[in-house]
Chains A and B, each alone.
Chain A
């Protein structure tokens, strides 16, 4: 239904004032039109005010003036038409934060979905809707605008996910598109400053009480967890650690509990000693009151210590682990180049002076690829490997962090030829010597210089570079090997037909490309290994909502308004038309008539 609203309704108060002023001016006589006449000899005797205005008999013209004033006032009050939106973009925030419970036990996401469905049902059937969700990875649910009914059908089965939202990014992209579509966002967040074309409908729990495990890691038989507490009152709880042992169905081993008293607004780190035989672990906060803990899903974390899936395969022509066994947080195994096949499974691959026929579906480091290979071609002049001094490097990349590369000179360097998917990481006097990229969704680093054997503190620059590469490639930052994020597709290779959660007898179905999508945290078992799926996000677990900030000029808009079409330009057009018409009728036409009359006489 078409309704109208005003952006600045207080300006409508000008209307009665304006009408009163027009009335007053008219009664007063207004400014008389100056007319040059031959002589005032006789006319001087007729000095005075017009009689007709004393009794207010307005001519037709005053109605025109009133109409013009009305149009100008409506334009100034920013009259806008609502409800007849033909083109609407709906963004649904289904990120992890929307799992927060509201009063009555329902999730914020249920409220968001209900609001969205209600909004869709209020749209006319002729409206065209584009539908986006924010997580995992902001994406469109419709490849073309659909009817409100079709959009409702798409919204109904949606669920909140284990993922962070990219709402600001999505809105910024939407603004950059300069689409005329009005955008309605359903989220637990709100805009810092109202925007004229983006309307955010906020659904959230006003309570700010939550306890969450925001980080956990296993390192050298020690498990540490960071717990964040939000709210206004201290919370007493217990942190429970369940350990899994053995390789077959991972029977539950030891359980350990630590009593905690958590002050609001703090984070604490809790450490457990774990036995070496531990294969997997589950950390949970089982005894929290719902009123003190609005998000239940961030109370559980799974960790994996099994090397089966995340061990790094070092493939070289000579064999050996190249000194990498000294790095505590990774597990390496060695393979000779002739033993390697595309069926090999590992958490990552390091190819030393060897390149396979095709890149594996795992993070890969290629060091000194042999000349002539098609996957990582080299630039070799005269077949010699040249010494090279570093000239330029991408200092914003995580791999080059903490490094002072200009001091580095390589006695042997093999310049690499940049590929379509690659980015130049380090350049030298001989050419590019380090490339990074993600050719098919997996991280790949190519190095044209030797970093092995890993010598630790004896070669600090190269060692830091190596550790940075491992950190970036194998995601070894906190949790160790064998851990992936929920809602991120899991590529385990073509030989893995089935993946099961340890708890709940739930199995995952492979996607057409062979990947698995773990929808929630847990410990996954598959042939040849195990994988802990977890999700930490301090931003999503925190209920201190940061308002969304949008770039560009932001104008205050009516909160809670429908998508609006500003009628200012239409009103300006009508006003201009009336003024021109008046000009034509009252000035141009009479003048033309007089000219014609004069010519004919």
Chain B
């Protein structure tokens, strides 16, 4: 059962979008992405000399007429790609009011999975620390994805890098990797996570989501005991209006640092706020990043 936000109208609009990759990958079945493999397809790739055994139908007879040499046309094969979705389920994703941040991560995962599944891609779902890597194929599998996401609960802090490495190693074919997280972790850890995804040559897109509470953490309170949702660390904090602005700037600096690291590692970085409309985020932010078109 899909969440209520996925109305028929929204689904119809989402169906018009397509997952793209900035690189071509070898797939294992016919699909929608141009594969490096030459073979049958629509896209002309090159000529090569006829060799015994080639299908005579592929001989370019016009060229034979002009040059008296037999050449056969080759095409770029269109194959599927694997789309790996790594969704952060640590406690920090569940702290915002009404679990808005987690719900946005869940909805994005579902939307991207739905688009991918419609394109006959293999969707691999990784919720670090909660379950093993699961693979889905076919549009109907979106409901299975939804059920797994629905059952997701906050997990204890873990070795995120190792979890990601395990997920990546489970992929039989390289493809697209999408990391959905708030990435409110030290930059070193962000580096490790993206590096782990890039280690198998995946086309990585990092989607960083922040909620209103992340940007203005003590809304309505100028003095509070801030408790870290994951480590449980407690800090007495006071924020006046100037300090709030300072805090916001520092958060945005952290986002920029994450984007910088992603760029350096050849990954795309997309930042989004929970309050933004879902389809607008898909069609604008992710299209701009080259993940959708």
Contacts and interface: CB of A to CB of B under 8 A. Distances in A.
Determine if chain A interacts with chain B.
yes
Contact of B98 (A37, A49, A53, A598): A598
B217 A51 contact: no
A107 to B, nearest CB: 73
A601 B280 CA distance: 14
B235 A47 contact: yes
A48 B237 contact: yes
Interface stretch (A26-34, A286-294, A312-320): A26-34
A156 interface: no
A33 B221 contact: yes
Given A38-B92, A43-B247, A49 B229 contact: no
A45 B233 contact: no
Contact of B217 (A35, A52, A590, A601): A35
A45 B222 CA distance: 15
B258 to A, nearest CB: 11
A411 interface: no
Interface stretch (B15-23, B54-62, B182-190): B182-190
B229 A39 contact: yes
A36 B95 contact: yes
Interface string A571-601: 0000000000000000000100010001001
- For A35, A36, A37, A48, the residue with the greatest tally of chain B CB atoms inside 10 Å of its CB is A37
Contacts of A40: 226, 228, 231, 233, 235
B236 A43 contact: no
Contact of B227 (A36, A46, A49): A36
Contact of A38 (B96, B238, B247, B250): B96
Contacts of A594: 97
B218 A35 contact: yes
Contact of A49 (B186, B223, B230, B275): B223
Contacts of A45: 250
Nearest to B248: A42
A50 B225 contact: no
Interface in B208-223: 211, 213-214, 217-218, 220-223
B51 interface: no
Contact of B236 (A38, A48, A590): A48
B223 to A, nearest CB: 4
A568 B153 CA distance: 51
Which of A43, A49, A590 has most B Cβ within 10 Å?
A: A43
B239 interface: yes
Contacts of B251: 42
A43 B218 CA distance: 10
A447 to B, nearest CB: 91
Nearest to B254: A42
Contact of A34 (B184, B211, B224): B224
B251 to A, nearest CB: 5
Contacts, number: 106
A41 interface: yes
Contacts of B217: 35, 37-38, 43
Given A42-B247, A42-B250, A44-B235, A50 B185 contact: no
Nearest to A53: B223
A357 B88 CA distance: 111
Interface in B90-125: 92-93, 95-98, 100-101
A34 B225 contact: yes
A51 B238 contact: yes
Nearest to A59: B222
Given A34-B227, A39-B230, A49 B238 contact: yes
Contact of B95 (A37, A48, A52, A598): A37
B177 to A, nearest CB: 23
A49 B224 CA distance: 9
Given A32-B236, A49-B238, A590-B220, A39 B92 contact: yes
Nearest to B221: A33
A35 B222 CA distance: 11
Interface in B170-210: 182, 184-186
B193 to A, nearest CB: 15
Given A42-B254, A48-B236, A35 B226 contact: yes
Interface string B267-289: 00000000100000000000000
Contacts of B221: 33, 35
Contacts of B93: 38
A44 B238 CA distance: 10
Contacts of B184: 38-39, 41-42
A35 B235 contact: no
Given A35-B224, A46-B238, A50-B240, A601 B275 contact: yes
Q: Closest 7 interchain pairs by CB?
A: A39-B184, A38-B92, A50-B238, A32-B225, A50-B223, A40-B228, A34-B225
Given A37-B214, A38-B229, 9 more contacts: A32-B223, A33-B223, A37-B226, A38-B101, A38-B214, A39-B182, A43-B226, A50-B222, A50-B223
17 contacts: A30-B223, A32-B223, A33-B223, A34-B227, A37-B218, A37-B229, A38-B182, A38-B213, A38-B217, A40-B231, A41-B185, A42-B250, A43-B217, A43-B235, A49-B238, A52-B240, A598-B98
Interface of A: 29-30, 32-53, 590, 594, 598, 601
